[in-house]
Amino acid sequence: MTTTRQIHLVKRPAGVPVPTDFAVVAVLARDAAEGEIQVRNLLMSVDPYMRPRLDADQPLGAPMLGGGIGRVVQSKNAKFREGDLVRHGAGMQELFVSDGRGVAVLKQDPDIPLSVYMHALGGTGITAYGGLLETGALRDCEQVFVSTAAGAVGSVVAQIAKLKGCYVVGSTGSAEKKAWLLDTAGLDAAIDYHAEPLAEALKAVTPKGVDVYFENVGGAHLDAALPRMNLRGRIPVCGMISTYNGGGEGVRNLFNLIYGRVRMEGFVASDFAHLNARFVEDMTGWLKAGKIKYQETVLDGFERAPEGLIGLFAGKNSGKMLIRIAD
Amino acid sequence: MTTTRQIHLVKRPAGVPVPTDFAVVAVLARDAAEGEIQVRNLLMSVDPYMRPRLDADQPLGAPMLGGGIGRVVQSKNAKFREGDLVRHGAGMQELFVSDGRGVAVLKQDPDIPLSVYMHALGGTGITAYGGLLETGALRDCEQVFVSTAAGAVGSVVAQIAKLKGCYVVGSTGSAEKKAWLLDTAGLDAAIDYHAEPLAEALKAVTPKGVDVYFENVGGAHLDAALPRMNLRGRIPVCGMISTYNGGGEGVRNLFNLIYGRVRMEGFVASDFAHLNARFVEDMTGWLKAGKIKYQETVLDGFERAPEGLIGLFAGKNSGKMLIRIAD
């Protein structure tokens, strides 16, 4: 048996998580038994959705829930070969044994870096694709506002909307990210909400209103978007990061839903399994053609996962935040 | 020519409207010319939706917008006969001349009082019917929460849901109205939100959660309902009376939309014109069979319309608030 490490939640956070809410724990990793595989983790995802789970279904003193990409190092299961790359939901563990449930072989396209399977071709990609096209029911050439548009989900949403001929406005939290949205992602307008008054700035750059507001933030962002919504507008609700740590103002402009006949609707990535084949085909094509740009913020070192998660709430990431454990 | 009266908005309200925001204005009423009718107003409606219009499209120094029932007293239009009862949207005028646009002959069922055509068989009735069955996509035997359930819209919503086999909880603002909901309207549970802590009380009486929350109030009501919503629950948004006068707390629990995949959607009565024939047939049958009970708060006297409208925001009405001008 080998020693390996896990990231545990040891204390439920009060507000924004702090490093001492987590611990790196050394445990023994056993070999694969009959029907099992042993997997070495290569990349782990940290995502805003993890924050509400820290108050809810994330067990204390157990590996942090989450997804990653690993390599099979032992296989006594006919579905896997040693050396296979796999996607898994085994959480934050360097090395783990599995009976194969929740683990899927990943066929990497040689022209696409492995890390992209953790965002544009992974969970955040299908979240963007399904949330915008299915929940948001986007039509070509509509008016679109995307919050946290330089983030892992938002950046894909904004660029898919551009590919559909839409007028696209994004919000983000720094001048550097705003420049990326305008110069690289090709948005029509961008707002640095730390530097500009959000509601006024949004009004100024949405002269034709907003048909789809892709909601990642909540609070003041939602209050700014609601008065801009066009008749029968849609607000797919992917996340509300401004509320996850307990802060922020309540939302006051919801009455705009009424006369606008606006629809707000929540969703999660797993709602879009039926779209997966079409998503992979579309997204692979867009990526290879250079039509979807992305940014990654990669922290090297298994033990840095808590730092990565905490950093999401301070906007430390440009695009997808990843933890790289090994190549 | 005859002298008649109109209710004008003379000042846009700051917060809750006060009597001096309105004026009763005497004007000359001319006779009907060729192609026109002259109508004497019998009943006028006052409704919560009028409040936001006082800040928006309600002109100053002109008759208050609104609907009513009148009788044709002169007709030079072949579509109308003198003596016909008509529905109209001519607003708050005792006597008015019309070319017939926006005026429709009303065929009264002899078993149904005329005032019922102003609520259960009128605009509030189809608002309830369409909002619950179409926007809310109610299925038989679901769990339903209705806010302001003793009001004109809420009382019809709650009773239609009971007719569909649902478990129905209603909120209201007095012990007397709560007793009406339980004893007369036959709800499964009721909450007096002035006497009970709303969120705790709602949790206690919704052990199976809420599939449809019919939203008339906003603010604290919505915050109480959101954590109770079941997977793929729906929140048809009819009104947000708590927000119309500028008060109230912001809404903090919207993140519950995400994992619950809850849909919130606004609507107005005119969205349901395609349901009208079915609505009239269903509702007439239910009323004649005694399956839909109603309450009315009738103020006698044209000049009392402002008092009636203001009273809605203090809960002075049980059921539909009406202004009776003449029989």
Answer whether residue A66 shows pLDDT above 80: yes
Task: Tell me the mean pLDDT in the region A218-240.
Answer: 97
Whether A94 maps to a domain, the answer reads: yes
Task: Please state, in angstroms and rounded to a whole number, the distance separating the CA atoms of residues A277 and A286.
Answer: 14
Give the pLDDT confidence score for residue B297 in this predicted structure: 94
Whether A180 maps to a domain, the answer reads: yes
The answer to whether B254 contacts A52, with C-beta atoms less than 8 Å apart, is no
Give the pLDDT confidence score for residue A248 in this predicted structure: 73
Whether B64 maps to a domain, the answer reads: yes
Report the CATH number at residue A29: 3.90.180.10
Give the strand pairing for A229-237 and A167-172: unpaired
* Cross-chain CB nearest to A218 (options B238, B254, B267): B254
Q: Give the residue numbers spanning the domain of A51.
A: 2-119+294-324
Share of chain A above pLDDT 70, in %: 99
Q: Is residue B164 within 8 Å of B178, Cβ to Cβ? A: no
Helix, strand, or coil (residue B304): helix
Residue found by looking up tokens 């906003």 in the block: B218
Give the pLDDT confidence score for residue B244 in this predicted structure: 83
| Phi and psi angles of residue A289, each rounded to the nearest 5 degrees, phi first | -85, 0
Whether A285 maps to a domain, the answer reads: no
Same domain, A180 and A223: yes
Whether A277 maps to a domain, the answer reads: no
- Residue of A258, A262, A271 to mutate, testing the B interface (most B Cβ within 10 Å of its Cβ): A258
The answer to whether B266 contacts A271, with C-beta atoms less than 8 Å apart, is no
Give the pLDDT confidence score for residue B58 in this predicted structure: 95
Give the pLDDT confidence score for residue A243 in this predicted structure: 86
Task: Tell me the mean pLDDT in the region A233-251.
Answer: 89
Same domain, B28 and B135: no
* pLDDT, tens only, A209-220: 999 999 999 999
Answer whether residue A1 shows pLDDT above 80: no
CA B320 vs. chain centroid, Å, equals 7
> Chain A contacts of B47, Cβ < 8 Å?
none
Same domain, A301 and A206: no
The answer to whether B255 contacts A52, with C-beta atoms less than 8 Å apart, is yes
Residue spans of chain B under pLDDT 70:
1
Q: How confident is the model at residue A246 (pLDDT cuts 50, 70, 90)?
A: confident
Same domain, B21 and B113: yes
Find, among B134, B157, B130, B155, the residue nearest to B144 by Cα.
Answer: B157
* Domain count along chain B: 2
Measure CA of the first residue to CA of the last residue in chain A; give whole Å. 22
Same domain, B168 and B226: yes
- Residue of B215, B264, B271, B272 to mutate, testing the A interface (most A Cβ within 10 Å of its Cβ): B264
> Chain B contacts of A268, Cβ < 8 Å?
258-259, 261
Same domain, B80 and B134: no
Complex ipTM, two decimals?
0.91
Same domain, A188 and A235: yes
Whether B279 maps to a domain, the answer reads: no
* Cross-chain CB nearest to A258 (options B222, B239, B254): B239
Question: Token digits for B126?
Answer: 């189809």
Same domain, A111 and A203: no
Whether A281 maps to a domain, the answer reads: no
Q: How confident is the model at residue A249 (pLDDT cuts 50, 70, 90)?
A: confident
CA distance B110 to chain A (A): 35
Whether B277 maps to a domain, the answer reads: no
* pLDDT, tens only, B209-247: 999 999 999 999 999 999 999 999 999 999 998 888 877
Same domain, A55 and A191: no
Same domain, A99 and A226: no
Same domain, B132 and B263: yes
Report the CATH number at residue A170: 3.40.50.720
Give the pLDDT confidence score for residue B315 in this predicted structure: 86
Same domain, A7 and A94: yes
Give the pLDDT confidence score for residue B2 in this predicted structure: 83
Query: Which residues from B are below 8 Å from A when comparing CB atoms?
Result: 52, 218, 222, 237-240, 243-244, 249-252, 254-255, 257-268, 271
- CA distances A9 to A16, A68, A291, A323, B280, Å, are 14, 18, 39, 17, 59
Task: Please state, in angstroms and rounded to a whole number, the distance separating the CA atoms of residues B221 and A100.
Answer: 46
* Mean pLDDT score across all residues of chain A: 96
Task: Tell me the mean pLDDT in the region A79-83.
Answer: 98
